[in-house]
Amino acid sequence: MKDKILVIGGAGYLGAVLVENLLRRGYSVRILDSFIYGKKAVEKYTGDKRVEVINGDIRNIETVNNSMEGIGSVALLAAVVGDPASKARPEQTVETNYLAAQVVASSAKRSGVKKFIYASTCSVYGVGSEMLDEQAPLNPVSLYAKTKISSEESIMSIAGGDFSPVIMRMSTLYGFSPRMRFDLVVNTMTMTAFTGGRITVFGGNQWRPLLSLEDAADAYIKVLESKMQMNGGKIYNVGSEEQNYIITDVAKLVAEGIKKASGKDIPINIEGDSTDARDYRVTFKKIQAELGFTVRSTIPNSAAEIWSKLESREIDDPKRKIYYNHYFDASEELIG
């Protein structure tokens, strides 16, 4: 039998897709989530014996320790994610992203967990003119990135023996999820094109690495299914060189996908400067060479899928607070 996987944050944007993919590959899954963005993503698992759902907060040590029982591997995705969300709740950001991450990693080590995968971010690089690999200097420009760096360091500090954590520095994600977000660049552009008939870009010359949800989930599974000595105690940038884009090119690719889905030509407006200080390109040669990781999804295809979900009203009102991390509000889940 395959290990039972604990996905902490399994009802979240990436977590919901990772859980689906793990189940397709024959794993059983335990989800630990505080459901601050609602339970919609896990409702379909009611009565599914392959899935156990725990409603709990990783800031509670007892909850964390109990969640580790009988677990072979852990994926820690739960966090206050993104710069706006971190600005809105700075204390919760430090508690969740840093202090609680320490507790989770320590609990996993004590429990004999075989593989511990931590979701970090390429935002730790902040600003850089060169192609940045895992050894590049870190230059965080937000509280979110700073807490991720602190967590990386604290988790790696307890590595040793049979505990070999893996740090995944994720590119900016895009694509449809059962727990949808419209505060990520590709998703935002697709949504504003649908609701306002245009895409607006601020600045546009800043670089960013992009990655689809499906490819991101595949990267986690690559780590889970690889030999421990291959990746234990390592840091991986997760993405692909070909999906390092300047933001104006992202807008063009989104417009291409929308035209594919609807036949509509969406205008792109370039306005002023961006308030986002991040500007960096990343190399992903390490994960490609060591794990054979490659990307399959594209921005146009994902934009087309999101547009179709909006057009079919599967996503009924993309401006609801539940689709934006910085609102921390699941109260709208029962509406509609």
60 exposure class (CB count in 10 Å sphere: 0-12, 13-18, 19+): middle
What does the pLDDT read at residue 272? Answer: 74
Residue 115 near residue 167, CB atoms below 8 Å:
no
What does the pLDDT read at residue 332? Answer: 64
Structural tokens at position 54: 């725990």
Residue 186 has pLDDT above 60, yes or no: yes
Which residues touch 274 (CB under 8 Å, ≥6 apart)? 202, 203, 204, 206, 247
Q: Please tell me whether residue 31 adopts helix, strand or coil conformation.
A: strand
Residue 156 near residue 120, CB atoms below 8 Å:
no
Residue 335 has pLDDT above 60, yes or no: no
Q: What is the DSSP letter of 314?
A: S
User: What pLDDT band is residue 111 in, cutting at 50, 70 and 90?
Assistant: very high
Q: pLDDT digit string (tens) for 48-90? A: 999 999 999 999 999 999 999 999 999 999 999 888 888 888 9
CA–CA distance, 187 with 215 (Å, rounded to integer): 16
CA atoms within 13 A on the CB side of 270: 11
Q: pLDDT digit string (tens) for 1-44? A: 578 999 999 999 999 999 999 999 999 999 999 999 899 999 99
Q: 204 versus 156: which is more confidently predicted?
A: 156
**165-to-54, 59, 76, 83, 95 alpha-carbon distances in Å:** 23, 20, 11, 25, 20
137 exposure class (CB count in 10 Å sphere: 0-12, 13-18, 19+): exposed
Structural tokens at position 239: 């993405």
What does the pLDDT read at residue 271? Answer: 85
Task: Give first-to-last CA distance, the chain, whole Å.
Answer: 41
Closest CA to 205 of 255, 276, 138: 276
CA–CA distance, 193 with 266 (Å, rounded to integer): 7
127-132 and 279-282 beta bridge pairing: parallel
Residue 148 near residue 167, CB atoms below 8 Å:
no
Q: Which residues pair with 127 in a beta bridge?
A: 279
What does the pLDDT read at residue 84? Answer: 83
Residue 54 near residue 110, CB atoms below 8 Å:
no
User: What pLDDT band is residue 336 in, cutting at 50, 70 and 90?
Assistant: very low
State which amino acid sits at residue 164.
S
Q: What value does the mean pLDDT of the chain take?
A: 93
Structural tokens at position 16: 């919901």
207-212 and 244-246 beta bridge pairing: antiparallel
Q: Which residues pair with 51 in a beta bridge?
A: 29
In percent, the amount of the chain with pLDDT more than 90 equals 81
What does the pLDDT read at residue 225? Answer: 92
Q: pLDDT digit string (tens) for 257-273? A: 999 999 999 999 998 77
Structural tokens at position 138: 């870190």
User: What pLDDT band is residue 161 in, cutting at 50, 70 and 90?
Assistant: confident
- What structural domains does the chain harbor? 4-173+210-241 (3.40.50.720), 176-209+242-279+297-334 (3.90.25.10)
Which residues touch 194 (CB under 8 Å, ≥6 apart)? 258, 307, 310, 311, 318
User: What pLDDT band is residue 279 in, cutting at 50, 70 and 90?
Assistant: confident
CA–CA distance, 17 with 217 (Å, rounded to integer): 7
Residue 172 near residue 240, CB atoms below 8 Å:
no
CA–CA distance, 40 with 331 (Å, rounded to integer): 12
What does the pLDDT read at residue 230? Answer: 57
Query: Of how many residues is the chain composed?
Result: 336
Q: Is the pTM of this model over 0.75?
A: yes
Determine the average pLDDT of the residues in 317-328: 89
Lowest mean pLDDT among 90-94, 281-285, 320-324, 332-336: 332-336
